[in-house]
Amino acid sequence: CISVLAIVALAYPEFRKSKHNVKYQPTTEKMFFLLNIICQIVAGLSSAIASWFGPVSIVVPINVAAQLLSNMFFFGILGIEKFPKGTRIGTYFVATASLLLPYVGPTVQDQNVIELITQPSALIWTSLLLAATVLSGYFCLVWVNEKQKTGVVKNKYKAPILLIARVCASVLSTTASKALPGVSGIAFFLSFILFLALAILIFFVAILQATEVDQGSFVPFSSCGNIVLNAITGLIIWQDYLVIQSSVCYSIVMIQILMGVYLISSIDVLSSSADQSYALSQSVKILVAKDIADQRGKYLASFAGGSIPIMLANSNIEEEDEEEDDEDNRSHSRSVMFDNKMLFYSQKNARLNGSVSNQPSSVINGSEYGSIVS
């Protein structure tokens, strides 16, 4: 809840500026920024302390559920975003499934942190997370400087890079904070330095996240990444597989949480094939319509040359009737007929027999026009 308030502190004034042209005084903007800092510090400390009393694979999904509920509440009540029915149901789905994790997931266990972290698999996994965090974090720091100078980040890959930085930094931060009570000396110092560095990076990422990306899609992806990577971290580093109460139930609950996050997001993978089929059918219709239009253009061109296109009836092209002009105008040249958009139909016998007849060229007089219309 507090972490969402930190984002709202920056997102709300940005929303008011862009949508309602509201201008804030520099003092007011500094107050919003200060509120963001305070909320992020409190949220970071709360998450760190929570990791001391339970597995990361349990703490993080519950934290994600609270964030999604808070995100929907605050952004909805302030009018920043409107959440459709599917998003609301998906949020409730994640929240209720997260409540089951303490009853089916891993339990607390006494562990030697140094021994766990120095395992080959743990070292490889930690190195991958550190590499992704450092690389994406570098871009984030550059973008913060760019935003201060120009007011906007123009990199088209900012959303996925911010997502990687946010997720990987959060996973490492949770693991570093969990290791603090179980280490001492140089190990405690390194863990604390890592935790502070990651907290600073998360702070800058949150600033960019609040103003540069769509919260409706970024938050679900970030939540999904946090859940999956922390579950993997729990299995690889903290050996949660040894104390899982029910592997089947735990897997089902995790799948339910991911399904809820998927329901919240705007992506619909299953409809891609249907969309392609619809696009193909529409393309065929456009080609058919274009062909008919080309044929119609040929008929009109032949009419301009002096013949009446009764073939329009065979191509199923119909036009609306216009009001009849005066009798004198009916005997004028073919240009008068164009101005009034006259319709010419073939006679019933010609349509039944499938034959196509041509009317005399040149100018059409009133009697000829009357016979054709009848």
Contacts 24+ apart (CB under 8 A), 42-48: 42/2, 43/2, 43/3, 43/6, 44/173, 44/199, 44/202, 46/2, 47/3, 47/173, 47/174, 47/177, 48/173, 48/174, 48/177, 48/180, 48/195
Angle at alpha carbon of residue 187, lines to 194 and 57, rounded to 5°: 60
CA distance 174 to 311: 76
pLDDT of residue 78: 82
- pLDDT reported for residue 267: 65
pLDDT at 89: 87
pLDDT mean values, one per 10 residues, the chain (374 residues): 81 81 84 86 84 86 84 82 83 86 88 89 94 93 86 84 92 91 89 91 84 77 87 91 91 88 72 54 59 58 46 46 49 49 48 47 41 40
Q: How many CA within 13 A on the CB side of residue 114?
A: 7
**Residue 31, helix vs strand vs coil:** helix
Q: Name residue, tokens 């062909």.
A: 291
Which has the closest alpha carbon to 212: 11, 20, 19, 76?
Answer: 11
- The C-alpha atoms of residue 32 and residue 165 are separated, in whole angstroms, by 24
Each residue's pLDDT tens digit, 302-356: 544 444 444 444 444 444 444 455 455 555 545 545 454 444 445 445 444 554 4
Tell me the CA end-to-end span of the chain in Å, nearest whole number.
77
How far lies 1's CA from each of 40, 217, 298, in Å? 11, 18, 68
CB 64 within 8 A of CB 231: no
Residue 32 tokens read as: 């919003």
Token output for 91: 């949020």
Nearest to 336 by CA among 310, 367, 309, 369: 369
Q: Residue with structure tokens 């946090």?
A: 226
Output the pLDDT for position 311: 45
pLDDT score, position 318:
46
pLDDT at 7: 79
Supply the pLDDT for residue 281.
60
The two tokens of residue 330 are: 């009916």
Stated pTM of the model: 0.63
Q: What are the structure tokens assigned to 178, written together?
A: 């969990």
